[in-house]
Chain A
Amino acid sequence: DAGVIQSPRHEVTEMGQEVTLRCKPISGHNSLFWYRQTMMRGLELLIYFNNNVPIDDSGMPEDRFSAKMPNASFSTLKIQPSEPRDSAVYFCASSLLTSFYEQYFGPGTRLTVT
């Protein structure tokens, strides 16, 4: 079975540019999570969706960040405009609502904003 798929794996962009990260959850999973990981702040939950509906976006740092889940098999995290402090590894994870949020993670996207 395919796991959680994220693209791109690496992204280098200049400050001010728009960045879009993509995630395909495990087929059949109905919860999806976006995390950010940095050395300073550790692993932070940005937003999560249940059945494609955003449930908690309190972790989204600023209005520059937005996330969508147009269907059960695809989600995007967009940063516009990007800033150097957005440099981090961004993880997507998915789970079954009935599994007490036992999450399976994608490989992550390493974002570098110069």
Chain B
Amino acid sequence: AQTVTQSQPEMSVQEAETVTLSCTYDTSESNYYLFWYKQPPSRQMILVIRQEAYKQQNATENRFSVNFQKAAKSFSLKISDSQLGDTAMYFCAGSQGNLIFGKGTKLSVKP
């Protein structure tokens, strides 16, 4: 069975700085997708970025990028130039039959 682990319950970063959120996963599948979701105080779950496991190139979406280390089973999210609106819970998720979510990291961006 697939497992997704986020080891940082809470993190904080100063506005305009860079922060990296960690995620590790374990799966027996040969092909799968990994996702990061953002949940701001409004509680809406928003898809931030996706990574296809067969692609070696790391995905990038504007200020958000991933560092996908397949052998190490690591899938971290880097947020550059942090903004106050990035304050949210961030969930890592992997697909195997359905999506398996980590327990989340609460990120606070401080002015």
Which A residues fall within an 8 A CB radius of B? 33, 37, 42-43, 45, 48, 55-56, 89, 91, 93, 99-105, 107-108, 110
Contacts and interface: CB of A to CB of B under 8 A. Distances in A.
Interface of B: 31-33, 35, 37, 43-47, 50, 52, 91, 95, 97-99, 101, 103-104
Given A33-B98, A45-B98, A108 B33 contact: no
Nearest to A110: B43
The A interface is mostly helix, strand or loop, or mixed, namely strand
Given A43-B91, A56-B98, A105 B45 contact: yes
Contacts of B44: 105, 107-108
Contacts of B50: 102
A3 to B, nearest CB: 9
A101 B47 CA distance: 12
B101 A89 contact: no
A101 B98 CA distance: 6
Contact of B33 (A48, A89, A102): A102
Contacts of A108: 43-45
Contact of B43 (A89, A99, A102): A89
A106 to B, nearest CB: 9
Contacts of B99: 33, 45, 101, 103
Contact of A42 (B52, B97, B103): B103
Contacts of B47: 102-104
A42 B9 CA distance: 12
Contacts of B52: 100
A100 B95 contact: yes
29 contacts: A33-B99, A37-B43, A42-B104, A43-B91, A45-B98, A45-B99, A48-B98, A56-B97, A89-B43, A93-B45, A99-B33, A100-B32, A100-B33, A100-B95, A101-B95, A101-B98, A101-B99, A102-B33, A103-B47, A103-B99, A104-B47, A105-B37, A105-B44, A105-B45, A105-B46, A107-B43, A107-B44, A108-B43, A108-B45
